[in-house]
Structure formats: C-alpha cells, structure tokens
Amino acid sequence: MNDAVTDQPALIELAGVTKIYGTGSAEMKALRGVDLCIRQGEFVAVMGPSGSGKSTSMNILGCLDTPTGGSYRFMGVEVGDLTRDQRALLRRNYLGFVFQGFNLLKRTSALENVELPLIYRGDFLSERRRRASEALAQVGLAGWEHHTPGELSGGQQQRVAIARAMVADPVVLLADEPTGNLDSERSVEIMGLLTAINRDKGVTVIMVTHEPDMAAYAKRVIRFRDGLIETDGHHEGGAT
C-alpha cells in the first residue's frame, strides 16, 4: 500500500455494523458485524456474490441507508447521530455517486445534468454553468454540452454521470458497477478516468464490481460473503 495513503487518517470507519431487514420469520441479516477502515486517497474495489452484503454496505457508506447496529464514522463524525437533513448535507457536500444505469435525465442536456448537484447546493446560474462546463471538459466531453443522453453513446453517458458526480468536488466517489452496461473498450476508458480522478485529485474511490479485470484497477479489493468481509487485501497492481 502507498505510504502516503497509509499515513492518512481514517476517512471511513465501520465497527460492528449490522443491517437487518424484516422481522420474525421474514428477518434477513444483510450485514452481520462488519469492521472496515478506508483512508483518504484509497481506490477500493468491493466484490462478492449477490446477497453477500456489498450493496448494503455501499448504501450505508453513501448515507442512503442506516445500520441496524454498530458504528459508522465519516471523517471522525458518528453518522448515526446525524439527522436525516444532516445526512443529506453530508451526501451533497462530500459524496459523489456513479451508477450502472447512468441515471441521467433523458430530456435534459449533458450540461444541465451535470449542473444538478450545484442546483441542490444553491449555486448561482453563472457559477453552475462554469463548473459544469469544466467538469465535462475534464471527462473529455468539451463540445457535447448541449447533447441529450439519447444523442450520446453509453460510454459518453457514463462520462456525463462521472462529471456530475465530480462537479461538487466530493471527498469520496462511490461507483456501483460503473462499467456494467458498457463494452470492454468503453469499460477500459471509464476505469482509466476513475483511476485518474483517484491519482490526480486524491479522491477516494469505492467501487462495487463483479468483474475481476475491473477490480484489478483498484489498489485494494474487499470481498463480501454472507454479510461479512471474507477477504481484504492490497496489491501492488492497480492500473495507472
């Protein structure tokens, strides 16, 4: 593991985190006591079969769901003590999200899609346009600002989604199967982009994937099974 990353304080800490859905005979233990520490600047791939707990963990890390038990600390703050509004502010100001299905507004231009997080944050129109244009340029889409998703390829749509995730300068980028809807060539392009964001901007990237060749871009791979972390290892690989 990179010494510079090792020296960073803990950014994310899970201690004994459990998540139970349903009650009685319908009870399902999605997480059974997960301990996890992620430091600023890491690129982590999260793997595991369906029902292993990886998606539940990502939802908790993204403040989209709350644990049943245990502790989740983000930058030293106990997330469980935050109100719903405070968790929304944490998502808005510190987290960026990229999804397998892109989640773009279909009748809205690339520029307007990227602007959305800044609208929620209350930025002025001129500032939103400037930042959104810069974000699109950084993902290689200068000149495509006024195209709608229907006029873009799958790879271009995912680039718009990454620009939208990055426009508010998040501390953490959470990517859920970001190459799941792309062919191999476009997948390599997107992984190169995520690697550059991690390397050049110091953004912590946490990515769920079921594809080993995509996980190979990360410096650390965590595997879930039956609601627990089965393995957690670093490797010197990690594509550059």
pLDDT at 2: 54
Mean pLDDT for all residues in the chain: 92
Taking the CA atoms of the chain, what radius of gyration do you get in angstroms?
Answer: 18
pLDDT in tens, 72-117: 999 999 999 999 999 999 999 999 999 888 899 999 999 999 999 9
Q: Is the pLDDT of residue 177 over 60?
A: yes
Domain residue spans of the chain:
3-234
Contact call for residues 220 and 45 (beta carbons, < 8 A): yes
Q: Look at the domain 3-234 and name its fold.
A: Rossmann fold (3.40.50)
pTM: 0.92
Residue 3 is predicted with a pLDDT of 54
Look at the block and give the residue holding tokens 């392009």: 189
Q: Using 50, 70 and 90 to split pLDDT, how confident is the model at 168?
A: very high
Higher pLDDT among residues 212 and 234, named by residue: 212
Report percent pLDDT > 90 for the chain: 87
Work out the average pLDDT over 169-178.
96
User: Two tokens at 76?
Assistant: 């030293």
pLDDT at 121: 86
pLDDT tens sequence across 6-47: 667 799 999 999 999 998 888 999 999 999 999 999 999 999
